[in-house]
Structure 1
Amino acid sequence: MTTKFFDRLSNDLSQLLEDPIDYNVTIEIGEAPNNQIFKVHSYILQSRSPYFKYKFNETPFNDDHIKVLTMPNINISIKIFNVIIKYIYGGIISLEKLENSSIFDLLITSNELELDELVEYLQTYLVNNCASWLRLKFDQIYRTSYQVKNLEIIRNFYNDIIAKHPNTIFESENFHSLPEDALISILKQDDLQLEEGKIWEYVIKWGKAKNSTLPTDLDKWTSDNFLILKETLKGCLPHIRYFSFSNEDVIKKLFPYQQILESKLFLDINSKIMIPNMPISSIVLPPRKILNMRLPTRITPIPLSSNIITNEHALEISSWIDKKESSYIENNPYEFKLLVRGSRDGFDVKTIKTIYNICDKVSKTIIILKVEGTGEILGGYNPLEWDNINNQYKNTQDSFVFSLKTTSLKNSILSRMERNFNYAIHNYSRNSRFSFSNALCLIGNLKTGKKCYCMVSSVYSKPIRSDEFIRPKESLFSNIPKEALFSVEEYEVFEILPIDLN
């Protein structure tokens, strides 16, 4: 009988990490002055990680008999390395306090350090506990699973989604940049829920996108053009189920590209149309296992009625409303119902038709502004009701202000409530003023008055404009630099309404 005392062993080795007696390796993580030096033992690390075994073999001892190790080729944070080194010493890992994105970073780093046991565990954990987040980050992580070795569990998770809902990938705006091995993996799936003729169209579309010089008019193609496409698709073509095409699809979709098929295969396809029971020599792949039940159709988004923002902007704003870590990529859970538009209803904050009157008693609204002269897109989310009668401060922790990405702003800026929640919203209807504390202030006629401004706020977390356009926190209105005051080219107010995606 063998008795195993792993708990005590784990605890003793973990203590050795805390009090590194006789350490002979230092590992520097991060850059000064925020770097951290880890004192560790080569015999433990190299017994647990092939990566460290290789690194120690090529790293000489210094005069103090210490190996000084840096890892310039691995992008790793101090936080992540702390988790990994504790796992290496004690075989213990805790993920409860890590965000999903950090767990995925931990997975990638563990893979680079060749910690196979941990790589398998983290993939399984993400699939079983973070499936919604994986779906949200579909495009990014699916591609990574093919760029990085040993991520088969995550890859299979995504391939199962694609098999059931093929439009997830085939209708993606990034489909053309899908890696070849990812596309081949999809084509190999017997349960891909898509007609073979449609699959063929997508494959051709992908191949053409890889060769932008090919003529757009197929009638103008030369033999060389078809050879180029054939070479591009040589890894994909063997996985098409040619004998599952309908006769109509063979004529309409396959015949125009017959030159990229082997002559014997094309002859056998024709033979099967004319004499279905005739023996052929070509390999006949089994038809795909299409479910009898009707698959959910792709959600058709409610058209966005905006002269300022795009659907991508709307998805980003919706993710902020839901306090998501990452932006939605499709299927917006909200309808943006247009209430007010400056060019249609007027630009004054309080007139007979505009903001306070139309929005009175309406809650959960987004106001969007396009700044005159700079093209900036600023805005804010008000979860509370507008009030056309009372001047008052309003309390909420759910409002936020933002600046959306444009051609001149690479990434959007989100500024959430941070403190002083009683001053989140300034509802000053009688003074023709509405503001998100002082982070975004709208005054008078938004087009002609040029009285709007943003300033460093004691309520919201960060400024949403660059320093040159931010009002100093201490300044009086009369002393505001003219560069900090702005008018708007257009503005819109939307009511945010939930959509049933089931």
Structure 2
Amino acid sequence: MTTQFYERLSNDLTQLLENPIDYNVTIEVGEEPDKKIYKVHSYILQSRNSYFQKKFNEISFNENHIKVFKMSNISIKIFNIIIKYIYGGIILLEKLENSVIFDLLITSNELNLDELVEHLQTHFVNNNASWLRLNFSQVYRTSCQVKNFNIIKDFCNNIISKYPNTIFESEDFQTLPEDTLISIIKRDDLQLEESKIWQYVIQWGKAQNPTLPSNLDEWTNNNFLTLKTTLKQCLSHIRYFSISGKDFFEMIFPYQQILEPKLWLDINSKFLVPDKPISSTVLPPRKVLNVTLPTRTTLTSNIITDEHTLEISSWIDRRESNYTENNPYEFKLLVRGSRDGFDVKTIYEICDKVSNTVIVLKVKDIGEILGGYIPCELDKNNTRWIYSQDSFAFSLKTTNLINSILSRVNNFDYAFANYPQHSLLHFGNTLCLRNNLKTDKKCCCLQNWYSYDKPIRSEELIDNVLSDKSGFNVEEYEVFEVSKKK
């Protein structure tokens, strides 16, 4: 029987990093004036990582028998995590923002830390899929550029297969790398009509050749040859024999010159004499689902995800379990701080006489997402407490909060403070918004959560970061009108 003492080994090596006896390499991280110098051991880094093995072999010892290595393009925060992982095999992600973890993933790949790259991708897909969806464009573009991001790329491709417009209608579509486009149109489960796929492929091909005439009637043989050459690797993945005669005539016929003569003849033969054998490869029809996929919401938020709206909708309907798809409510954006201004009076002005609103805000520096639901109308001309049996405040699940916190009103007469003249907007004392949310640091969540059944900030956060009356600034806030879908 083999006994393994990995924890003790990890602790001892971590101590060696903190007390670098007999170090023979210094690594300068960051740029002046904030750079930091790490004293490390070449034999540890070389045995753990091929990147450092190669780099250290390229550097000679100085007169003090030390190799000096500079890494100015890596942040100190990221390198702290990586060097502790290399020495001790330990990494703690719970208190890191997702954006930092994503930067860590990119840097880990650059340093050939394959084990860590796989772990971080799995962590995102299993634990923070909502962040990947919220930042889909950035995530997918990066996964396409980096060959080792296969786990995240597969995650993104599965979304694209179900919701093709996510990528085909995005601003980034025309700049997709060719191999990425091919990986999408090769999928048997791509939920899109074949004629639409053809149109998108043509659109992409034209975008790669901006000098082609916009009017097809003006195209020369050379123009068609240019497009054919550009799309050479893509055209073989179109399921031509699954396209209707009408769509074929309207969409493919004008571009017949970019198809191989034999394929063109076989397609026409299939329409005229369906039973006649052909020599061209006939790809199987795509596996388009017979059921309608749940529509992805057209939520345009800088703060919350579709999963967050499903949770909020469940609270509105007082469900014991959350909606997982087919959100019965539509979230219509009314106000955004970065667009409309951060003064609380702005909310009253824009949302005057509007009921059933949800306010969400992202706390600066901490990454918390706080908010509340107001079923009654806001009123910019009156200062008063508003009665409500259904309002609630909340803190949404993020990297730093395992589960969302819901706090329902229990003193109905004092559910909501409608105080436009004083630039105040309060859910009892459980969430208080005041003055300029971005600059004045007057917002707070008191432990004396008057009118609501519980505080919405986690005890750990209050104990470790905040005092009971600690004010905070808001990085961004949004107000949505919530209504039943027709």
TM (norm. structure 1) is 0.67
The one-letter code matched in structure 2 to 1:280 is I
Q: 2:144 aligns with which of 143, 146, 149?
A: 146
How far the C-alpha of 1:174 sits from its partner, in A, is 2.6
How far the C-alpha of 1:113 sits from its partner, in A, is 0.6
How far the C-alpha of 1:195 sits from its partner, in A, is 1.2
The one-letter code matched in structure 1 to 2:177 is P
Partners of 1:99 and 1:156 in 2: how far apart? 23
Partners of 2:13 and 2:66 in 1: how far apart? 20
- Which structure 2 residues correspond to residues 198-277 of structure 1 after superposition, within 5 A? 198-277=196-275
1:59 matched to which residue of 2?
A: 59
The one-letter code matched in structure 2 to 1:388 is N
Q: 2:192 aligns with which of 185, 191, 194?
A: 194
Contact 1:25 1:69 in 2 (8 A): yes
Contact 2:438 2:474 in 1 (8 A): yes
Q: 2:332 aligns with which of 330, 335, 354?
A: 335
Partners of 1:364 and 1:115 in 2: how far apart? 46
How far the C-alpha of 1:152 sits from its partner, in A, is 0.5
Percent identity among equivalent residues?
Answer: 59
How far the C-alpha of 1:316 sits from its partner, in A, is 4.5
Partners of 2:143 and 2:350 in 1: how far apart? 52
Contact 2:334 2:350 in 1 (8 A): no
How far the C-alpha of 1:141 sits from its partner, in A, is 1.1
1:97 matched to which residue of 2?
A: 95
Query: Is the partner of 2:27 in helix, strand or coil?
Result: strand
Label 1:144 to 1:333 Cα distance change in 2 as closer, same or farther (>3 A).
farther
Contact 2:189 2:286 in 1 (8 A): yes
How far the C-alpha of 1:296 sits from its partner, in A, is 3.2
How far the C-alpha of 1:284 sits from its partner, in A, is 1.8
Contact 2:109 2:148 in 1 (8 A): yes
How far the C-alpha of 1:357 sits from its partner, in A, is 12
Partners of 1:21 and 1:177 in 2: how far apart? 51
Query: Is the partner of 1:415 in helix, strand or coil?
Result: coil
Are 2:415 and 1:418 aligned? no
Runs of 4+ that moved beyond 6 A: 355-358, 360-363, 381-384
Label 1:356 to 1:206 Cα distance change in 2 as closer, same or farther (>3 A).
closer
Label 1:119 to 1:500 Cα distance change in 2 as closer, same or farther (>3 A).
farther
Query: Is the partner of 1:359 in helix, strand or coil?
Result: coil
Label 1:155 to 1:501 Cα distance change in 2 as closer, same or farther (>3 A).
farther
Are 2:293 and 1:295 aligned? yes
Label 1:463 to 1:81 Cα distance change in 2 as closer, same or farther (>3 A).
closer
Pairwise CA RMSD = 3.5
2:277 matched to which residue of 1?
A: 279
Are 2:18 and 1:18 aligned? yes
Contact 1:24 1:41 in 2 (8 A): yes
1:345 matched to which residue of 2?
A: none
Contact 2:143 2:152 in 1 (8 A): yes
Query: Is the partner of 2:481 in helix, strand or coil?
Result: strand
Partners of 2:33 and 2:350 in 1: how far apart? 55
- Per-residue CA deviation, residues 459-493 of structure 1 (Å, 9 max, x unaligned), is 885999xxxxxxxxxxxxxxxxxxxxxxxxxxxxx
Partners of 1:87 and 1:358 in 2: how far apart? 50
The one-letter code matched in structure 2 to 1:252 is E
Partners of 1:357 and 1:65 in 2: how far apart? 68
Partners of 1:83 and 1:220 in 2: how far apart? 58
1:394 matched to which residue of 2?
A: 424
- Which structure 2 residues correspond to residues 24-63 of structure 1 after superposition, within 5 A? 24-63=24-63
1:307 matched to which residue of 2?
A: none
Label 1:298 to 1:258 Cα distance change in 2 as closer, same or farther (>3 A).
farther
Partners of 1:190 and 1:358 in 2: how far apart? 46
Label 1:401 to 1:288 Cα distance change in 2 as closer, same or farther (>3 A).
farther
Query: Is the partner of 1:272 in helix, strand or coil?
Result: helix
Label 1:265 to 1:357 Cα distance change in 2 as closer, same or farther (>3 A).
closer
Contact 1:362 1:495 in 2 (8 A): no
Contact 1:361 1:387 in 2 (8 A): no
How far the C-alpha of 1:32 sits from its partner, in A, is 2.5
TM (norm. structure 2) is 0.69
Label 1:41 to 1:400 Cα distance change in 2 as closer, same or farther (>3 A).
farther
- Per-residue CA deviation, residues 372-412 of structure 1 (Å, 9 max, x unaligned), is xxxxxxxxx9999445355546365665889xxxxxxxxxx
The one-letter code matched in structure 2 to 1:498 is V
Query: Is the partner of 2:438 in helix, strand or coil?
Result: strand
- Per-residue CA deviation, residues 93-141 of structure 1 (Å, 9 max, x unaligned), is 1100111111111111110110111111110111111101001111111
How far the C-alpha of 1:295 sits from its partner, in A, is 2.2
1:344 matched to which residue of 2?
A: none
Contact 2:425 2:434 in 1 (8 A): no
Query: Is the partner of 1:28 in helix, strand or coil?
Result: strand
